[in-house]
Structure 1
Amino acid sequence: MDVNEKKNLPRERLEKNGPEALSTADLLALVLGRGTAAKNVFDLAAELTTFLSAAARRPTLEELEEIRGLGRAKAAQILACLELSSRFFIGTQMTRVSTPRALVAHLAFLKFKRQECFVEISLSSCNGILGIHPITEGLADRTPIHAREIFVEAIRDRASGIIIAHNHPSGSLIPSEEDKNATRILYQAGKLLEIPVYDHLIISFQGYVSLNAKFPELFQ
């Protein structure tokens, strides 16, 4: 391997540019460490990326083991990373977010939920994450919410503003009329409490959508 090839390896690029500069496949290649005689680590990481991107829920150990070349030990490593990332991002470490895309990584745990779950994200005056609070967990296609449950967490956090989010287990990123109505109600409640609702995100295994970007009239 020549010097230029080594500079392009994931670990070297992470050291130089940080983890955010790496693709999902690069990150998985770092976690896996090495491949097998039949499949190198980069091909294995690319296949695993495709599998996880299409998953409608968190995979089981047995499902991961079905990927040729992964094996039980590496499958366990991947599950541990998925669980660890969920626990870390639900924590209270102060992280600043400037766009919906920056926040989505902290809500990745919603992607694997089989029921609709509604969460509230409390933000500081400089858009730092004060807390990510699960509020309700309902059925496969809906979850009841009420403004009091949303804003009690924001008040406890002394939040300067909030973002709300929920998942669509079906994979659809099209907001329902109930989603829009809930957004209107919560936005108006936030105005009264002087805790503005900045956005409402819908998360699924297909990606995410920002209601503020798609329907700004809901936030007026």
Structure 2
Amino acid sequence: MIQNQVALYTKPDFNLMPREKLEFSGVSSLSNEELLALILGSGSHECSVFELARRLSEFLSTETSVPTLARLKSIRGLGKVKAAQILACLELSGRFILSDKAIPVAVPEDVLSRVAYMKYESQEHLVVISLNSANYIIRVHELTTGLVNQTPVHPREAFALAIEDRAVSVIFVHNHPSGSLEPSPEDMSITRVLCASGKILQIPVLDHIIIGKSGFTSLCRLYPEIFEQAFFK
């Protein structure tokens, strides 16, 4: 009887509202629309909170940069107050993603939360992520802004900040505003130079990740022979 009662209270209910679903299964179990519905809190006089969240989700999924307040207000049913709430959440997520909170890195996916903002950038950015001996992120440093193949980073600048951090290894990340995840010849060339420099400095390059609107590419997974150690499988 007791076992049945426990099962009654622990069996998941897939019809739970977002707040209850978050409490029971964790925030990662929520869809984008459910997360947005939680932030919005309520709908408008013309639609429910879930319909408004659906419209907002569709809008954000097609954006290539963080939208302005005016663009958010263009969504039918989304007023100035709720648009400001959404914009504040987007801005805060970017700021805290770049915080110094330690994150263990075991696979390329572990890096993405720290550099997710890059997929919205209209120019190419190259960053270096320094890691300690336990593969925890020490810091994320922006190295260049602009087209990487037109403003190639010099190894001296690429590793200077990692040396200051006393990094044991590094990961490089850059974005492709075009959305393409294919490495260019310039991407491959600079990766080889950086890996060779890291070997000399005894600060191995674990990966060079390309981020686009549709996902990411790990060069270490594609071309493990370039890297001193094939860290990511």
Q: Once the two structures are aligned, what percentage of the paired residues are identical?
A: 49
- Paired residue secondary structure (1:111): helix
- Give the structure 1 partner of residue 83 of structure 2: 75
- Give the structure 2 partner of residue 153 of structure 1: 161
Query: Residues 61 and 144 (structure 1 numbering): CA distance in 2 closer, same or farther, change over 3 Å?
Result: same
Letter in 2 for 1:173: L
Query: Residues 44 and 99 (structure 1 numbering): CA distance in 2 closer, same or farther, change over 3 Å?
Result: farther
Equivalent residues of 1:115, 1:141 under 8 A apart:
no
Judge which range, 108-117 or 44-53, deviates more.
44-53
Equivalent residues of 2:149, 2:187 under 8 A apart:
no
Judge which range, 79-88 or 24-33, deviates more.
24-33
Could you tell me which of 192, 198, 209 is aligned with 1:184? 192
Are 2:49 and 1:41 aligned?
A: yes
Alpha-carbon deviation of 1:8? 2.3
Equivalent residues of 2:119, 2:213 under 8 A apart:
yes
Alpha-carbon deviation of 1:142? 4.8
Equivalent residues of 1:125, 1:160 under 8 A apart:
yes
Could you tell me which of 14, 18, 31 is aligned with 1:23? 31
Are 2:221 and 1:213 aligned?
A: yes
- How many residues are treated as equivalent by the alignment? 218
Scaled by the length of structure 1, what TM-score is found? 0.89
Are 2:54 and 1:57 aligned?
A: no
Unaligned runs of 5+ in 1: none
Scaled by the length of structure 2, what TM-score is found? 0.85
Unaligned runs of 5+ in 2: 1-8, 229-233
Q: Deviations over 1:14-50 (max 9, x none)?
A: 2233323333322222111122243222232233223
Equivalent residues of 1:141, 1:170 under 8 A apart:
no
Query: Residues 132 and 181 (structure 1 numbering): CA distance in 2 closer, same or farther, change over 3 Å?
Result: same
Alpha-carbon deviation of 1:78? 1.3
Which of 1 and 2 has higher RCO (CA within 8 Å, sep 6+)? 1
- Paired residue secondary structure (1:213): helix
Q: Deviations over 1:136-191 (max 9, x none)?
A: 11149754212112211111111121111011111111110000111111111111
Judge which range, 25-34 or 110-119, deviates more.
25-34
Aligned pairs (5 A) from 1:163-174: 163-174=171-182
Equivalent residues of 2:149, 2:186 under 8 A apart:
no
Alpha-carbon deviation of 1:119? 0.5
Could you tell me which of 91, 104, 118 is aligned with 2:99? 91
Please tell me the root mean square deviation across aligned C-alpha atoms, in Å. 2.2
Query: Residues 132 and 140 (structure 1 numbering): CA distance in 2 closer, same or farther, change over 3 Å?
Result: closer
